[in-house]
Amino acid sequence: SFDLGSCHISSGINAEYGDPPFDQMLTEHFQCTNALLNGEFLTAFHHQCNIVQVFAKMFKTQKEDNWGLPMMYTIIKDMYSLALKADNVAVANGEMAGSKIDACADMLMTVFRVCASDSRTSLEFTKRWGLMTIINLLFKCYFKTNKLHLCKPLILAIESNVANRDIKDEYTISERVTFNYFVGMKYMFENEFKGAEKCLSFAFENCHKDCLNNKKKILTYLIPVKITLGFMPKAMILNKYNLVEFMDVIEAVKTGNIKLLNDTIEKNASFFIRAGIYLILEKLKVITLRNLFKKIYLISGSFQMDISRFQAALNWLGLEDVDADETECILANMINDGYIKGYLSEQHKKIVVSKVNAFPTLNTFL
């Protein structure tokens, strides 16, 4: 290891490069590099944040010019990478997890404001071309620290801001794939499945064909969203991307086999929890029950059915603890949520379903 601190580096850089702030940025860069070589990630992150801060002040003064965007991309991406390493060290030292990632997000917001405020400059020279790269890094920070509510203003900055509508489809395809991936996940976690399907489908279809790991990551979220909306992915795509954990999930939902779904979720719980989709799969249970009850309706050939039929089906599938009252409760909730069109006759212990579209298509109301 070596120590640049004793080398009077600032005066040397001043003599070589002259005007600030580049001398200060280079000094911070060499100190950051020195800290990295010595494995001092907290110190390295501190110096990298200083670089971004100095750059933001300088970039703000460059009116009607965006020549510094390539430099910005490099220093903010390096800052995020260092934030992850520094956070691990901070946690080992007893600090709260995510503290350095929060600090990184705060610094990213500094450059975000510089770029977002450049709304009057011509398209060729506007700093707004840097917005999507900054936003994608902010998404990574907020997803890491579970602060998804902070993503909404960033989405609006791209999709709803009048000044940015003229360039939102002109960012690089890789930036747009990343943006749609995170927006799609946010929609999924908020149960906005149509929006999630649109964004995640865009990300999957436009992700480079050779980036198999990225396409698999996108599919991990797109598949449960598709199932929720009533579209069942084919076995071919599950095999291609080695997502066989979903095989029995799809079979269970399609056939209304609630026991198979429960067993599959329990069997692959570690995978689903690690991917962050366990709770989404839990929501597939009501769709599985909807498909089971639709089968009972089609077999019965009647618009009026005894509730005991549904209870018998649940008991036969292994849910032996479900009694008449719980079955009635399940049906009532499904009617209330729009999965079934009809009403319960408590006096006669029957369900009466609509003669028109008794079981609405999932994507019409979810």
pLDDT in tens, the chain (366 residues): 334 443 444 444 444 544 678 889 999 999 999 999 999 999 999 999 999 999 999 999 998 899 999 999 999 999 999 999 999 999 999 999 999 999 999 999 999 999 999 988 888 999 999 999 999 999 999 999 999 999 999 999 998 877 677 788 999 999 999 999 999 999 999 999 999 999 999 999 999 999 999 999 999 999 999 999 999 999 999 999 999 999 999 999 999 999 999 999 999 999 999 998 998 998 899 999 999 999 999 999 999 999 999 999 999 988 888 999 999 999 999 999 999 999 999 888 999 999 999 999 988 887
Is 106 in a helix, a strand, or coil? helix
Distance (Å, whole) CA 323 – CA 24? 73
Q: Do 49 and 79 meet the contact criterion of CB atoms below 8 Å apart?
A: yes
Single-letter code of the amino acid located at 308: S
H helices present in 190-211, as ranges: 193-206
Helix pair 151-159, 131-144: axis angle to 10 deg: 160
Is 320 in a helix, a strand, or coil? coil
Tokens 């002040």, located at residue: 57
Single-letter code of the amino acid located at 93: N
181 phi and psi angles, rounded to 5 deg:
-60, -50
pTM exceeding the 0.75 threshold for the entire prediction: yes
| Beta strand spans in the chain (E) | 304-306, 342-345, 350-353
